[in-house]
Amino acid sequence: MRFDILTLFTGMFSGPFDESIIKRAKDKQLIDITLHNIRDYATDRHQTADDAPYGGGAGMVMKAEPLAACITAVKELRPDSTVVLTSPQGRPLTHRVASELAKKAGLIIVCGRYEGIDERIRTLYAEDDISLGDFVLSGGEIAAMAIVDATTRLIPGVLGSCESAGADSFGDGLLEYPQYTRPPLFMGIEVPPALLSGNHELIRKWRRKESLRKTRLLRPDLLPEITLTKEDLKMLHEIAREDDRGM
């Protein structure tokens, strides 16, 4: 999968994209990441990429001309790629959205800056608009990193045989169950006996129940969106009774 990132600050990406899963995916040629400096497409000698907003107000707005030229140039190279804007106005990045993006041939991610981009860029070029949440960042670069990371994990072959995106939080709609490793006793807290039992069915049931428990406690809004089995419903009734007893 190809990721083309359009930004005013290419240096911000040198660390996150050269470590861990992203680096391994690049080394395996499962993904390709290309950075494009929007200023390179400005036509004046100062490489101006922003200007004061019409109507007045604080801050600056990213100019349409260099951004349009950059998008056009990249789109000519990647006609099958989808143009994505990073913006607080966009739809929230969720596991479902990342799964959808992972099926694309490629993404052209436009990193907003300052007070935003000239609205005509959204009108003429945007095919999607993604937000990390209801807060404002200094620019879209961190959002672009999150989009690449969340999407890359879902590309077949990226995660090793011992890793599974499906077991992560939100992979099946639930938060992930608690994780433990050695030692079995730490500061008076023991690893749950089910995990030490060697009984795979007992471990499976414990993990499912604890995923339901954590979701019910921390993100109850997710439960109505999930297709619950009879076993799930039974576990939720048990969890409710246990919570009522203070367990």
Condensed to tens digits (0 to 9), the pLDDT of residues 188-202 reads: 999 999 999 999 999
Rounded distance, CA 61 to CA 63, Å?
A: 6
Active site residues: 88, 115, 153, 168
The mean per-residue pLDDT over the stretch 105-119 comes to 95
Residues 131 and 219 in one domain: no
Which helix (H) or strand (E) is 15 found in, with range? none
pLDDT of residue 160: 75
Say how many domains are in the chain.
2
The mean per-residue pLDDT over the stretch 108-118 comes to 95
Rounded distance, CA 135 to CA 208, Å?
A: 32
- Structure tokens that stand for 118 in this block: 């000239």
The SS3 of residue 187 is coil
Residues 73 and 194 in one domain: no
In the block, tokens 């190279």 appear at: 77
Of 218 and 167, which is predicted with more confidence?
Answer: 218
Say how many residues make up the chain.
247
Residues 79 and 144 in one domain: yes
Residues 68 and 180 in one domain: no
Does residue 76 sit within a domain?
yes
Residues 119 and 6 in one domain: yes
The mean per-residue pLDDT over the stretch 22-33 comes to 97
Rounded distance, CA 118 to CA 57, Å?
A: 14
Residues 173 and 146 in one domain: no
User: Whole-prediction pTM value?
Assistant: 0.89
Helix and strand tally (H, E) in the chain?
8, 9
CATH number at residue 122: 3.40.1280.10
Residues 90 and 147 in one domain: yes
Does residue 133 sit within a domain?
yes
Does residue 177 sit within a domain?
yes
pLDDT, tens digit (0-9, with 9 covering 90-100), for 144-190: 999 999 999 999 999 975 455 555 667 688 999 999 999 999 999 99
Residues 37 and 65 in one domain: yes
pLDDT of residue 246: 72
